[in-house]
A and B are shown apart, each in its own frame.
Chain A
Amino acid sequence: MSKTETPLDERAPDVFQSEKRERLKEFKSSMLNIVKSRRNFKDFLFHIILGIGIIIIIMPFFLVLYQVASVGFGELFSNGFDSFSNFFLTEPGRGLMGGIRNAFFGTIFLIILASAVGIPLSVFGAVYINEYTRPGRIRDMVEFTSDVLAGIPSIVFGAFGFAFLVGFLGLGMGLLSGSLTLAFMMIPTVLRTTQEALRAVPMSLREASLALGATKWSTTWNVTMRAAFPGVITGVLLAIGRVMGETAPLIFTSGNSLTTPTEIVGPGSWVASMPYTIWSYITDPRQYLNIKAHATAVALMTMVLAIDIVANIISRKVTRRLV
């Protein structure tokens, strides 16, 4: 299309100024058509039904948001900002009357440790299969196994962590076992998104670097990875967001604790997490714990959704730049 070649000022004024009237006319005639023909009516009906469908689909999102946020924020800000910071910075204490410092920092420690193991493992793996292998058995196998890994129920990861890390390797429950289990769960997401990002980097970019006499290694890290970086970050954020809300893998691997952990392995490393805390608080008969569960849930949800939105924005920016 010669969009750029056409002068912009050659607009037909009557077409654009009377646009509203035109629209109304169009609407009227389309209404007329709907009544007139059976096929048009069917199309119209289909449209309406699907529209109602999409409203039903997204409604739970707002219902969940409303329920959790109305109770949760009420508790968080019951006493202004003080109660907000107290909630995250005090230990539960006697009768679990205090805050959720144990769970808040527990989740953060778990995520940091899991990322430290899981992200390099999957990013390096993706780089290897995308840059150093030809399409073939090894690549198929890695892609297949990571897809299988993505489909495994989280409780199976929990049971596996319990059998392998806690039992067989003798790490015992605690921070290390829990975060390793989470790290395993991060692998497929990060690996596949990194791979996608690497695949989107044009071959000519690599060739340009290789033509200057660079080795494959420096080309990969200085050119290819730099171009693919936003995509990798998106994958990492998505994985973190997903793993942050997991309860089931942690029940048998990280234990639970009313204080912030002091070591990585051993008896002092038992660690609480926010999802686990929500679970144990909501199933508790004490009413004030239910409200605390809501507050924890709204905090967790805010964190997860914020991460998700950032990932979304980055990935949208990237696609816009590449297209």
Chain B
Amino acid sequence: MSTQEYTNVIEVENLSTWFGSCKILKEISCYFEDNSVTAIMGPSGCGKSTFLRTLNRLNDLVPSFRQKGIVRFMGENIYGQGASVYDLRKRIGMVFQKPNPFPMSIYDNIAYGPKLHGLNDKDELDKLVEGSLKKAALWDEVKDELDKPGPNLSGGQQQRLCIARALSVNPPVLLMDEPVSSLDPISASKIEELITDLKKDYTIILVTHNVQQAFRVSDQAAFLYLGELVEFDRTKRILEAPADERTEAFITGRIG
């Protein structure tokens, strides 16, 4: 992929998606700015996760998935002809709802991505592992036990390990699919802090159904309802003065 002129790192134009004959997303258009946190909100089943997984083409794994519309990543259509899906996924990291460390050591968990993309130098890998773990604020807790299996960590540590794993290939964009919803409040707040820190270097797209969380960490917000993009603006504006009554209903807790 060559770098072209672009204004926003990800631009979505008229994106619609189907699973079989079910239309999940309906003509969505929006954009994601560099070094910002965008929260995608909405009640469960509104297509938030589908949207997120369309951005790194993870939905391609579902045989019945079809999409229409354009998603531009750094100026290039990711669904265009000849686009390499592996390269794309390398450059768009993802963190999942449930922590899912690989059943291998902490070190191998993080070295897995770089090794895939051809980095085999031991010293470089060591440095990269250390750097990723530090960025994910996990280094101090695990630096003496890098050989321990990843799944043996606590839930919050596992999730930070997954963030470190996503950061290991140094992607400009990080997708997060409700990263704290399966964690206890203390671990959750740690990860929220981490997201604010990471904003300096990464563009973060965060799916959440928690309005307070969106308010705390995000700059922009998008509100999805039944596959439609209802509102897309600064988070503050949306939460303080929702333009649509569906958004207001969601914020005040009447739907969701």
**30 pairs of residues in contact across A and B, judged by CB atoms under 8 Å:** A1-B19, A1-B24, A1-B45, A2-B46, A3-B19, A3-B22, A5-B45, A5-B226, A6-B23, A6-B226, A6-B227, A7-B23, A8-B22, A10-B23, A11-B21, A11-B23, A12-B18, A12-B23, A12-B68, A15-B66, A15-B68, A16-B66, A25-B81, A29-B81, A29-B82, A32-B82, A33-B82, A33-B84, A37-B86, A40-B86
Residue of A nearest to B49 (CB): A1
Q: A8–B84 contact, CB under 8 A?
A: no
Whether B101 is near chain A, meaning CB under 8 Å from some CB there, is no
Residue of A nearest to B83 (CB): A29
Residue of A nearest to B87 (CB): A37
Residue of A nearest to B46 (CB): A2
Chain B 72-89 residues near chain A, CB threshold 8 A: 81-82, 84, 86
Whether B158 is near chain A, meaning CB under 8 Å from some CB there, is no
In Å, the complex CA distance between A16 and B16 comes to: 13
Whether A39 is near chain B, meaning CB under 8 Å from some CB there, is yes
Q: B26–A10 contact, CB under 8 A?
A: yes
Known: A3-B22, A36-B84. 11 other contacts (CB 8 A): A1-B45, A1-B47, A5-B226, A8-B21, A10-B26, A12-B16, A15-B68, A16-B66, A25-B81, A33-B82, A40-B86
Whether B50 is near chain A, meaning CB under 8 Å from some CB there, is yes
Q: B23–A1 contact, CB under 8 A?
A: no
In Å, the complex CA distance between A11 and B16 comes to: 10
CB distance from A1 to the nearest CB of B (A): 6
Chain A 1-38 residues near chain B, CB threshold 8 A: 1-3, 5-8, 10-12, 14-16, 25, 29, 32-33, 36-37
Interface size on A, residues (CB 8 A): 21
The interface residues of chain A lying within 8 Å CB-to-CB of B81 are 25, 29
In Å, the complex CA distance between A6 and B21 comes to: 10
In Å, the complex CA distance between A1 and B81 comes to: 29
In Å, the complex CA distance between A260 and B207 comes to: 73
Q: B23–A39 contact, CB under 8 A?
A: no
CB distance from A281 to the nearest CB of B (A): 49
Chain B 111-135: CB-based contact to A (< 8 A → 1; otherwise 0): 0000000000000000000000000
Residue of B nearest to A8 (CB): B21
The interface residues of chain A lying within 8 Å CB-to-CB of B47 are 1-2
Chain B 48-97 residues near chain A, CB threshold 8 A: 50, 66, 68, 81-82, 84, 86
In Å, the complex CA distance between A18 and B86 comes to: 26
Chain B 1-42: CB-based contact to A (< 8 A → 1; otherwise 0): 000000000000000101101111010000000000000000
The interface residues of chain B lying within 8 Å CB-to-CB of A36 are 84
Q: A15-B68, A25-B81 are in contact. Are A2 and B18 (CB under 8 A)?
A: no
The interface residues of chain B lying within 8 Å CB-to-CB of A12 are 16, 18, 23, 68
In Å, the complex CA distance between A192 and B45 comes to: 39
Q: A29-B81, A37-B84, A39-B86 are in contact. Are A6 and B22 (CB under 8 A)?
A: yes
In Å, the complex CA distance between A74 and B19 comes to: 50
Q: A25-B81, A37-B84 are in contact. Are A1 and B21 (CB under 8 A)?
A: no
In Å, the complex CA distance between A245 and B24 comes to: 52
The interface residues of chain B lying within 8 Å CB-to-CB of A33 are 82, 84
CB distance from B102 to the nearest CB of A (A): 19
Chain A 128-181 residues near chain B, CB threshold 8 A: none
In Å, the complex CA distance between A318 and B46 comes to: 32
Residue of B nearest to A37 (CB): B84
Q: B50–A1 contact, CB under 8 A?
A: yes
Q: B16–A2 contact, CB under 8 A?
A: no
CB distance from A21 to the nearest CB of B (A): 13
The interface residues of chain A lying within 8 Å CB-to-CB of B21 are 8, 11
Q: Which of A6, A14, A33 gathers the greatest number of chain B CB atoms within 10 Å? A: A6
The 3 closest A-B pairs by CB, nearest first: A2-B45, A3-B22, A10-B23
The interface residues of chain A lying within 8 Å CB-to-CB of B24 are 1-3, 6
The interface residues of chain B lying within 8 Å CB-to-CB of A14 are 68
The interface residues of chain B lying within 8 Å CB-to-CB of A15 are 18, 66, 68
CB distance from B164 to the nearest CB of A (A): 24
CB distance from A9 to the nearest CB of B (A): 9
CB distance from A201 to the nearest CB of B (A): 27
In Å, the complex CA distance between A3 and B50 comes to: 12
Residue of B nearest to A12 (CB): B68
In Å, the complex CA distance between A32 and B83 comes to: 10
Residue of A nearest to B81 (CB): A29
In Å, the complex CA distance between A8 and B22 comes to: 6
In Å, the complex CA distance between A32 and B68 comes to: 22
In Å, the complex CA distance between A37 and B86 comes to: 11
